[in-house]
Amino acid sequence: MQFISTRGGMSPVSFSEVLLEGLAPDGGLAVPDALPRISAETLETWRALTYPQLAAEVIGLFATDIPREDIARMTEAAYAEFPDAVVPLRTIGGGLTLVGLSEGPTLAFKDLAMQFLGQVLEYVLEKKGTTLNILGATSGDTGSAAEYALRGKQGVSVTMLSPQGRMSDFQRAQMYSLQDENIHNIAIEGVFDDCQNLVKELAGDVDFKRETRLGAVNSINLARIAAQSVYYFWAWLRATDALPEREGFEVSFTVPSGNFGNILSGFFAKQMGVPIRRLVLAANENNVLDEYFRTGIYRPRSSDETLATSSPSMDISKASNLERFIFDLVGRDPQRVVAAWGELAEQGFFDMSADLDRFTGEFGIVSGTSTHADRLATIRSVHEAGFGIIDPHTADGVKVARDYVEDGVPMLVLETAKPEKFAETIREAIGVEIDYSDELRELLAAPQRVVDQSGDAAELRAYIQAHAVL
């Protein structure tokens, strides 16, 4: 498999090359030149595989330039500290099943991609004899997952931008308590979109990018999408294990989404052959994506209009990965992608309402919005029904999923984080104090190391130049 740019200005490159690039040189995002189609027979042979073995098979379809035995070794190492199931499934009533994506070291779904990314980055850098300076932005969970996966790795530094005062106490503690020399945290005045804009601005400066060997771990990095697509295969296999007739049996997935990366992974899995009926996008009050999939109009909001909510990892109003979906929507025509983004820059929105029927028909994507009151009520209802405690982002997913349950079609809701990360909201919803382990209490009490910045690009450039691994 080779990779091209959504904007047409990049010659096809390998997985290893796109892994280190982040944004394409033309400002677009890397996408596969063609996705493989997995047969029902192959899916059936994958049923007996462990999660690391399945990950090697799926990721190996993307990373065709890396020997399969090396990928298998890396996936085994990536998931060695997860429970045996890695991604367990559990029913919560009402036709819903949670897909447990938060069993990793930082208690969030980002670990499933980041733990592999840490392995493969170190592998590729060693093969190429070079270094990489990661610049990322986080609304809550990407930062800690990336830092835990890359701390202490040879030839890699991580500079992670996060919005001041916009994450939970637990999320801040996870990131800012790390003392590794190759980990750098910068708190930016503003919201996540301001952090993301800085990443894109510096990544779009080709000379600076080359000078500092700048790379990305946000979901603009295609390796993240490839690694996340694995759990859609896994969840379908586990959900259909007991069925006597399972070939082509469709399930639906509900995905709490802010930056569109997680649901894009499901979109890829569906195109590759996983029998998915619907992909249900669950937004919070920052519901730009819900508006887009309901009306066809994409209208990002300004920083001032982006709300601080109780599901902070979704407090995003500019979804970077939407461009990859748009690329397929317009028939993989890069000129039409560039034109859409030109309209966005000129008038603040673009209109694709003519394609609304294709959203729900050809692509199977529907959406909904959840509010703070919805989150509290959903957490409460799941707990009172005896199905445990869910975090607020997962609650957004459960709330929206309930509107799309169909008879005979299992609804799988992606659990995005553990409730321990959002104790304040859990207390408000059900009056329960989260019982932290001794290890987590030590984390919350640990000294924190973070640099505050105003969001000035020149200030950030100077910091990266001073701390880069070259």
Where helices occur in 164-313 by DSSP H, the ranges are 169-176, 192-203, 206-212, 222-239, 261-272, 288-295
pLDDT score of 216: 81
Closest CA to 257 of 344, 146, 369: 369
Q: What is the pLDDT of residues 347-395, one digit of tens each?
A: 999 999 999 999 999 999 999 999 999 999 999 999 999 999 999 999 9
Burial code (b: 16+ CB inside 10 Å, e: under 16) for 203-234 equals: beeeebbeebbbbbbbbbbbbbbbbbbbbbbb
Task: Judge contact between 98 and 413, C-beta under 8 A.
Answer: yes
The residues, any chain, with a CB within 8 Å of residue 236's CB and separated by 6 or more, are: 43, 251, 274, 275, 276
Q: Taking the domains of the chain in order of start, what are their residue ranges?
A: 89-107+229-430
Q: Does the pTM of the predicted model rise above 0.85?
A: yes
Q: pLDDT class for 220, splitting at 50, 70, 90? A: confident
Across the chain, mean pLDDT equals 94
| pLDDT value at 335 more than 90 | yes
| pLDDT value at 140 more than 80 | no
Q: What is the pLDDT of residues 76-131, one digit of tens each?
A: 999 999 999 999 999 999 999 999 999 999 999 999 999 999 999 999 999 999 99
| pLDDT value at 434 more than 80 | yes
| pLDDT value at 10 more than 80 | yes
The C-alpha atoms of residue 364 and residue 279 are separated, in whole angstroms, by: 6
408 is written with which tokens? Answer: 């005979």
| pLDDT value at 218 more than 80 | no
pLDDT score of 225: 95
The C-alpha atoms of residue 111 and residue 116 are separated, in whole angstroms, by: 8
For residues 439-445, give the mean pLDDT.
Answer: 90
Strand partners, 366: 280
| pLDDT value at 152 more than 90 | no
Q: At 130, which helix (H) or strand (E)?
A: none
Burial code (b: 16+ CB inside 10 Å, e: under 16) for 296-315 equals: bebebbebeebeebbbbbbb
- State what percent of residues in the chain have pLDDT above 90: 86
Where helices occur in 65-156 by DSSP H, the ranges are 68-78, 110-128, 142-150
Task: Judge contact between 108 and 102, C-beta under 8 A.
Answer: yes
Q: pLDDT class for 219, splitting at 50, 70, 90? A: confident
| pLDDT value at 417 more than 90 | yes
pLDDT score of 80: 96
| pLDDT value at 246 more than 90 | yes
- Catalytic residue, chosen from 110, 318, 399, 418, is 110
- Does residue 110 have an active-site annotation? yes
Burial code (b: 16+ CB inside 10 Å, e: under 16) for 390-401 equals: bbbbbbbbbbbb
Q: At 451, which helix (H) or strand (E)?
A: strand 451-453
Residue 332 CA from chain centroid, whole number = 22
| Widest CA span in the chain | 61
> Is residue 269 helix, strand or coil?
helix
pLDDT score of 243: 93
For residues 457-461, give the mean pLDDT.
Answer: 96
The full 3-state SS of 8-57, as one line of letters, equals CCCCCECHHHHHHHCCCCCCCCEEECCCCCCCHHHHHHHHHCCHHHHHHH
Confirm or reject CATH 3.40.50.1100 for domain 89-107+229-430, answering yes or no.
Answer: yes
Residue 468 CA from chain centroid, whole number = 25
pLDDT score of 448: 95
Q: What is the pLDDT of residues 17-43, one digit of tens each?
A: 999 877 888 999 999 999 999 999 999
> Is residue 59 helix, strand or coil?
helix
